[in-house]
C-alpha cells in the first residue's frame, strides 16, 4: 500500500480527489524529466510546488542560470531574471526579452505639484485622469 512520504497518509486515508501524484525530486523547470517519486499525495505535492519549488526556481540567481541554460518553466517560457528592478532614483524599470529597459510610468506628488513620467501624452492623460478621480478633483 502506498504511503505519502511527507504526511504519512496511505491510499485508504484519501478520497478520490486527493490521490498520489508524480513528484519531481528536482523541479521540472530546472530540466528534470527523470528523477521522480510516485509516493507523494496531491496535497503535499501541491504544497511543495507552491511553497518550496516556486520560491527556489524564481529566485533571481536561479533565474539567471535558467535563462543562461535556456531552461523553460511550466509555462514553456525561458525566464528573464532581469524583468524588473529599480533605477538610482528608486523608480521601477522593466526589461523586455531583448534586454531593453523601460521606466515604468509613474506619478510623483509633492504638495499641489504632480509630476508624471509616461511614454506618451495619451498615457499621461489617462494617468492624471485616474489620479484626479481618486482625489475627487474635477477633470477641468
For the chain, the domains span 11-78, 82-140
**Backbone dihedral region of 100: left (phi > 0), alpha (psi from -120 to 50 degrees) or beta?**
beta
Q: Convert the pLDDT of each residue in 22-53 to its tens digit.
A: 888 888 888 888 999 888 998 899 888 888 88
Alpha-carbon gap, residue 131 to 124, rounded angstroms: 10
DSSP 35: -
Q: Convert the pLDDT of each residue in 56-76 to its tens digit.
A: 888 888 988 988 888 888 788
pTM comes to: 0.53
Alpha-carbon gap, residue 59 to 16, rounded angstroms: 35
Question: What's the pLDDT score for residue 30?
Answer: 85
Alpha-carbon gap, residue 78 to 56, rounded angstroms: 15
pLDDT over 80 at 18, yes or no: no
Q: Residue 70, Cα to own-chain centre: how many angstroms? A: 18
Q: Where are the beta strands (DSSP E) in the chain?
A: 20-24, 36-41, 84-86, 92-95, 101-103, 106-110, 113-117
Do β-strands 101-103 and 92-95 pair in parallel, antiparallel, or remain unpaired? Answer: antiparallel
Amino acid at each position: 500500500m502506498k504511503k505519502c512520504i511527507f504526511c504519512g497518509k496511505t491510499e485508504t486515508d484519501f478520497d478520490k480527489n486527493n490521490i498520489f501524484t508524480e513528484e519531481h525530486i528536482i523541479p521540472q523547470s530546472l530540466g528534470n524529466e527523470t528523477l521522480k517519486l510516485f509516493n507523494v499525495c496531491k496535497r503535499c505535492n501541491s504544497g511543495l510546488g507552491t511553497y518550496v519549488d516556486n520560491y527556489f526556481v524564481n529566485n533571481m540567481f536561479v533565474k539567471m542560470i535558467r535563462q543562461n541554460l535556456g531552461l523553460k518553466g511550466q509555462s514553456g517560457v525561458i525566464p528573464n531574471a532581469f524583468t524588473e528592478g529599480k533605477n538610482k532614483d528608486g523608480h521601477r524599470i522593466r526589461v523586455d526579452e531583448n534586454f531593453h529597459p523601460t521606466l515604468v510610468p509613474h506619478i510623483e506628488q509633492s504638495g499641489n505639484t504632480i509630476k508624471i513620467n509616461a511614454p506618451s501624452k495619451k498615457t499621461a492623460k489617462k494617468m492624471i485622469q485616474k489620479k484626479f478621480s481618486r482625489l475627487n478633483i474635477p477633470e477641468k
